[in-house]
Every structure is written in structure tokens, then in C-alpha cells.
Structure 1
Amino acid sequence: MLDRSEVGKRGYLNENFRLFHLKDSRAEKLDYHYHEFDKIILLLGGKVTYVVEGVTYFLKPWDVLLVQHNLIHVPIIDPNEPYERIVIWLNAGYLAQHSYGGEDLSACFDLTRERGFHLLREGKERRLEYMRLVTELEGALRDREFGHELLASTYFLQLLVAINRDAGKDRTVEVADSYRRDPKMGEILRYIAAHLEEDLSVDAIAGRFYMSRYYLMHRFKETTGYTLHQYVSQKRLLRAGEMIRSGVPVMKAAEQAGFRDYSTFLRAFQGTFHMSPREFNG
């Protein structure tokens, strides 16, 4: 089972969306974590590096980082500069409710996950548009006059449309100096995501990708911050949780997520989510 001190769930979202405007003069060291909701990060100031599923991003002011639910990530913050950012948590049901004509507002998160590249770095004109929408959104959220919630939703949806339009253009090559990733580790992570129900032991992965056990274990830990076993265990639990919430019977969800022993699954599930699968589905 994954050590909760290394990877854990952070935050709970009960609203349609929640915006935080944060500025820290003292850097807090965070552990690797994930959320059950999608997250948008807009860097306003400071020097911060973000690691998302083994890819390291060197952020600049007004960069946008899209972190889909259940992606394991961590910020690494330089304590010598104040760290200011806008963070928005998004409710998937709200996005689905406001998606029309086959245009899914959560598409930007799907696209970035599929590419394995989560950064948007736009030109001056688009940055000014983001700035305008975020300023209007913050103002509407602070306001208490008639229609302020409707107005805030309007600005929020405009921001999502803008982000989806920009995410539709793959600019990975254009911002090559903004990130670092190990192509082989990226290939391994994609393989794990697509084959959770199969044998993903160190020996199996090392054999499939023609590398020694030692090199795989060392490089995986160095690249992602956690061991291969820990990573696979957490991804299987998150997959099982998603299936359970979608109505799949618990035993079937455990099996399809790659757990061979049901009692092991129950212990790991309880240890990670602090509730039984039946309570989780409630």
C-alpha cells in the first residue's frame, strides 16, 4: 500500500468551482498529492517548478497548468521569492452541465493528459485576456449585489472556453525549454495507465522495456518521486474508486483495476480513502 506521507488526497470540493488567490512569502513544502477534482493553476509571481506525473515544468508568470483529477503532482517552490498564483478547483458535474453541442468543457484536461503535457504558455494578447477574465471573476465572487453568482459563472465559463481553445493547439515543441521529461519513463507511465489490470511488477516492466531492475527502480524514483510499486498501487486504487462511483460492483472494480486479492484491496482502499468501498460509493 502507498505511504500516505508521500501521496495523499488534498482538498474537498462541494461547490461548482472554487477560486483561491494565494500569495506566500514563506514557501511551504508539500508532498506529492492528487485531487478528486480538476485544477487550474495560473502563476502570477514567484519561482516555482511543478512536477505532474513525472514531467517537470519550469513556470513563468501567467503560465497556465492544467491538472486533471487523480494526477499525482507536487510544486517545488523557491523560498527566496513570494509565490503568488490563482488556483481554481472545478466540479466535473458542473462542467458537464454547461457543455453544449458536443463541446465538452473538460476537453482541455483530457487533451493535456493524453499528450502528457499540461502547460499552456500563451502570447501577450492571450495573457491579457486571461488577466481580464480572472480579474472580472474575482470581482464578481467578492460582490454581493444582485446576480453576482450568475455573473461569476459567466466569467468562469468564458475563462474555460478560452483555455479550451488554447489547449486545442499543441504547442509542446514551441515551449521546449519550459519542461523536462524522460521519454522512456513517460512511455512507462503511459503503459501503466493503459494496463493496470496486468502484471506491473518491477520484473515485468523491466523485461518489457529492456532495462535492468536496478536502473528501472532508481530512475523511476528519481523521475517521479515514488517507487514503482507505490505508484502502481495508488493508480489502481484511484481507478477502482472511479469505477465504484460510476456503479461498478466493488469486487469487479477491484479485479478490473488489477487487484488479484480482494482482502488486500480492501485494506489498501481503507488505508488510502479512510472508508470502505461501500461508504465511498455513498
Structure 2
Amino acid sequence: MRELYANLHQAINYRHSVTHTPPGVEFHQHLELFEIYFFISGNVHYFIEKQVYPLQYGDLLLLNSSELHKATFQSNHRYEVIVIHFSPAVIVPLCSDRFDLLACFLNRPPGEQNRMRFSTQQLEELLLIFERLEAYNKPEAAEGSEILYVAAFMELLVFLNRAFTSQLHGEEPPPIPGKLSTLLHYIDLHLDQDLSLDTLEHIVFMNRSYLCRLFKKHTGRTIHEHILFKRIARAKALLKAGSNVTDACQLSGFNDYSNFIRTFKKAVGLPPRQYQALNCKEY
């Protein structure tokens, strides 16, 4: 039993950070990890898939392992957040038939309903849970704190799922411009096809120069960077699922095999075959 709680403790990574220098954050996903992001201070817009969330004190974001995201800093104001990364695999056995602790991460469309806002009473309750997690997570915490740490995290998941259910019918933040949403959706569905600017400007009936500026303004990166990240993400998923390197190259939209190998290694840090050997259980 002690080993069980030790493993659970290690699978729940709690971090409370403060900085006056915004960190350099690129677009990313957390493979096999879910994230709880609680915003305290700063001047931040948070990009998740097709949505941009301007953040204010007390906002909480829910992110599953498939959701592409990035914090975009609007100034050098004091930046304070609480971030928890955890493995959903260790939570699944703890769910009951009547209550799914992971529902708020999974039972919604990708990139939608990520942001939660709370009443004053809810926020006070949430902050108390965070205080307990922080206290139980300290190296000098008293004996048995690893059990209380896991219990506090379970309490947090119950709290968030109840609040999420009550907010399902509330207003969602306004999406990024409709044409960009259309473009992002088109890219997702056609990664293995031609996604040149010649093609994309006709999809949304927009001049390419204005389209590029609009995309950069709302997402913080270029169209090319977005497509490249999406293609690498698809290639990684295909390799993990057991596809061979040639198929992963073609199905993710890389027409040149040598370029695929070079680009994949630069982005991931490993060539495709080595990545597959380390991450594909059936390989």
C-alpha cells in the first residue's frame, strides 16, 4: 500500500511558480499527461487548438494530452501560476462507476470548454485545496503526507468535475475569427494533402498576406509553423500506433522522405525509427 501511494504521488506533479521574466514557451502537447493550469497573475493569452483565452485571476484551464497549446505573454508583468501535470492512467482505477474523475478532460470537443471560472465561494474552496496540495508536497512534510497529497488531488478532481458539469450550459469565450477557425479545421482534416498558401487562401477567400498576418496575430506563430507541428504530431501518433516510417511520412503530409527524417529528428530529438522503438508498445 505504501508503494501504491508513493507511485501515485510521483505521478502527480504540482508546481507553483512566480517569475518576472515570461518563460519562452513553444506550442506543445503533453503526451500521456493531463494538465491543470491555474492562473494567478500576468498578462497572458492562452492558445488551445482553435481557441484563444485571455486570462484573468482565478481562471483555470483543463488540458488533455492531445490538445495543442501555448501561453502568449502580452507584457513582462509578474507571472504566477499553479500547474499540475498528472498521468490519467493512474487515475482510471480510482474512478467509480458513478463518477468519472477524468470526464472534464475527455467529455468535450478538443480545444473547447477548456477554461473554467468560479464564484467567490468556489474560488475560496479551490484555493484551500491548492494550499493543502502545496503543504503535503513539501520535502519536510510530516509522515503520511504522501497519502494526504493524493487525497487532496482526488478532492480537486471531484471539485473540478462538479464545477465543470455546472458550467456546461454557461457562455464560452468568443472563438478566434471565423475564417481562421475554418482554416484550422481544414488543416486538421487535410494534413496529408497540399496545404500551400495558394490552396489555403482559396479555402477562406482571403488574400495570403492578410491571412498570414491574421494567423500570426491570433495564434502567435506562422501558418507554416502550425502545419509543421501538426504533421509532426500526427507522425508521432502514427508511429506509436505501429505504422512504418514510410507510411507515417506520407500520411502526415511529408512528400519528401529525407526531409521528413531530418525535420522529425530536429523537432523530436530522435529519428522516427528510434522514436518508435522507444514509444510503440507493439513495435
TM-score, length-scaled by structure 1: 0.80
Match of 1:258 among 253, 258, 267: 253
Structure-1 separation of matches of 2:266 and 2:126: 40
Q: Deviations over 1:202-234 (max 9, x none)?
A: 222222222232332222122212221221111
Q: Deviations over 1:243-275 (max 9, x none)?
A: 322333333333322223322211111010111
AA matched with 2:177: D
Structure-2 separation of matches of 1:182 and 1:104: 34
Match of 1:223 among 218, 222, 231: 218
Tell me whether 1:247 sits opposite 2:245 in the alignment: no
Would you say the 8 A contact 1:50–1:57 is kept in 2?
Answer: yes
Would you say the 8 A contact 2:49–2:110 is kept in 1?
Answer: no
Tell me whether 1:114 sits opposite 2:103 in the alignment: no
Tell me whether 1:50 sits opposite 2:46 in the alignment: yes
Structure-1 separation of matches of 2:12 and 2:215: 34
% same residue: 27
Q: Deviations over 1:143-166 (max 9, x none)?
A: 543432222122112212322333
Structure having the higher Rg: 2
Structure-2 separation of matches of 1:238 and 1:104: 28
Tell me whether 1:164 sits opposite 2:172 in the alignment: no
Higher relative contact order (CA 8 A, sep 6+): 1
Distance 1:73 1:264, change over 3 A: same
Would you say the 8 A contact 1:117–1:172 is kept in 2?
Answer: no
Match of 1:34 among 28, 33, 36: 28
Q: Report the Cα offset of residue 192 of structure 1.
A: 1.8
Would you say the 8 A contact 2:135–2:141 is kept in 1?
Answer: no
Q: Report the Cα offset of residue 171 of structure 1.
A: 5.5
- The answer for the alignment partner of 2:189 in structure 1 is 194
Would you say the 8 A contact 1:38–1:90 is kept in 2?
Answer: yes
Question: Structure 1 residue runs of 4+, over 6 Å off?
Answer: none
AA matched with 2:229: Q
AA matched with 1:22: S
Structure-2 separation of matches of 1:243 and 1:167: 32
Would you say the 8 A contact 1:16–1:94 is kept in 2?
Answer: yes
**Pairing of 1:83-232 with structure 2 (within 5 A):** 83-101=79-97, 105-111=101-107, 114=110, 116-142=112-138, 144-168=141-165, 169-170=167-168, 173=171, 176=173, 181-232=176-227
Would you say the 8 A contact 1:62–1:127 is kept in 2?
Answer: yes
Q: Report the Cα offset of residue 29 of structure 1.
A: 4.7
Q: Report the Cα offset of residue 97 of structure 1.
A: 4.3
Q: Deviations over 1:47-70 (max 9, x none)?
A: 433333464322222210223435
AA matched with 1:75: T
Q: Deviations over 1:24-62 (max 9, x none)?
A: 2x2225243314233221122344333334643222222
Count of paired positions: 264
Structure-2 separation of matches of 1:19 and 1:252: 38
Secondary structure of 1:265's counterpart equals: helix
Q: Deviations over 1:65-108 (max 9, x none)?
A: 2234351312315434x322211112243344444438654443
Distance 1:170 1:229, change over 3 A: same
- The answer for the alignment partner of 2:3 in structure 1 is none
Aligned-residue Cα RMSD (Å) equals 2.8
Distance 1:96 1:30, change over 3 A: same
Q: Report the Cα offset of residue 15 of structure 1.
A: 4.0
AA matched with 1:49: H
Would you say the 8 A contact 2:49–2:111 is kept in 1?
Answer: no
Would you say the 8 A contact 2:187–2:195 is kept in 1?
Answer: yes
- The answer for the alignment partner of 1:76 in structure 2 is 73
